Amino acid sequence: MDHFARLGLPAALDLEPASLDRAYFALQRQWHPDRFVAKPAAERARASAEAAALNDAYRTLKDPLSRAVYLAELKGVEMPGDGKTIDDPELLMEAMEAREELHDAGSTQAVDALAAKVRADMKASLSGLGSLFLAGDKPAIRKALLRLRYLDKFAEEARARRMNLERSTA
Amino acid sequence: MAYSEKLIDHYENPRNIGSLDKNSEDVGTGLVGAPACGDVMKLQIKVGADGLIEDAKFKTFGCGSAIASSSLVTEWVKGKTIDEAETIKNTDIAKHLALPPVKIHCSVLAEDAIKAAIADYRAKTKKAE
């Protein structure tokens, strides 16, 4: 069963956070281990397996990027897993230059400006995914998601860089 | 997690950080990335008239193991022919640095980067012929 089906939700890119939360918490109550303490071992095991699968589904679907990657994989888009490398020069050059810029940013203001630009870029790219999924354009979906992964990593590094700068000026 | 001394040394004192002119005819550039962890690695070689790699530089944005792996590779390839450099295996890198199993993929990145740099150099020299 895929994560969407497990939560009784349509397999879609856009998901209302409130309906995801509702579906998750209702099912989480249904399979809560506390309700199975007096039940036979087989049922207890089933409940804890269901609860774990629910957590996994919720974690994957809650974040828009991880949800998009998951949905793409369901649709047969092959994403490079752990330890797999890519050599797309355009994408990697962009990522490299962005990281150099971040590395050179000497103030929290400079880091914030870069981070804001990347957040806007991510938002636009995520909303642009819809039409790619509609068209079923797998190479374009893959490329957009790989780029988003790098933008996401940049945002993470920008937060770390900001903390370092704050610490050194404090 | 305990890291080996060699790994820490390469991480704290990385060799050959920097860039070579990627437009130069005798420079091969390899740019590779591991999207799952968001790492990006650039490795460049400069090949002399005698066919030996006379200089190598790298720039890596990634974890300590990725930085150490690329630093080590730039050190290893200097003075080698490109055919010799091409035989470097990620397992050699991982063994030398005693990379923990979860970091083996960083050595894969470094192997792919040197291979990509060699391929770029070969493509350039072929065009020039």
Within an 8 Å CB–CB cutoff, is residue A146 touching chain B? yes
Domain span at A24: 3-62
Percent pLDDT > 70 in chain A is 99
| CATH code of the domain in which A112 resides | 1.20.1280.20
Chain B residues with beta carbon closer than 8 angstroms to that of A89: 31
Inform me whether the pLDDT recorded for A82 exceeds 80.
Answer: no
List b or e across B92-121, with b for residues whose CB sees 16 or more CB atoms inside 10 angstroms. Answer: ebbebbebeeebbbbbbbbbbbbbbbbbbb
A42 lies in the same domain as A99: no
- Average pLDDT (B26-39) is 93
Question: Is the Cβ–Cβ distance between B82 and B47 less than 8 Å?
Answer: yes
The CATH number of residue A13's host domain is 1.10.287.110
Nearest to B40 among A80, A96, A152 (CB): A96
The residue that leads in pLDDT, B112 or A87, is B112
pLDDT of residue A170: 64
**Residue at A76 is within a domain:** no
**For A101, nearest residue in chain B (alpha carbons):** B61
Q: Are residues A56 and A97 in the same domain?
A: no
A83 touches chain B (CB under 8 A): yes
In a domain, A78, yes or no: no
Q: Is B106 a catalytic residue?
A: yes
- Write out pLDDT tens, residues A122-144: 999 999 999 999 999 999 999 99
Per DSSP, helices labelled H in A11-137 are: 17-30, 41-62, 64-74, 89-104, 108-135
Q: What's the CA gap between A132 and A20, in Å, rounded?
A: 23
Characterize the bridge pairing of strands B27-34 and B39-47. Answer: antiparallel
Q: Please tell me the total count of domains within chain A.
A: 2
**Same domain? A34 vs A99:** no
A40 and A95 fall within a common domain: no
The answer to the question of residue A157 being in a domain is yes
* Shared-domain flag, residues A93 and A50: no
Q: Whose CA is closest to B37, among A146, A160, A163?
A: A146
- Domains of chain B and CATH, by start: 5-124 (3.90.1010.10)
Mean pLDDT computed over B6-14? 92
- pLDDT-based confidence at B115, cuts 50/70/90? very high
Yes or no, beta carbons of B61 and A99 under 8 Å apart:
yes
- pLDDT tens readout for residues A18-48: 999 999 999 999 999 899 999 999 999 999 9
Q: Kindly state whether residues A100 and A151 are assigned to the same domain.
A: yes
Give the pLDDT mean for B66-82: 96
Choose the weakest-confidence range: A83-87, A91-95, A120-124. Answer: A83-87
Q: Which of residues 40-69 of A touch B (CB under 8 A)?
A: none
Average pLDDT of chain A is 94
d(CA A143, CA A137): 10
B63 tagged catalytic = no
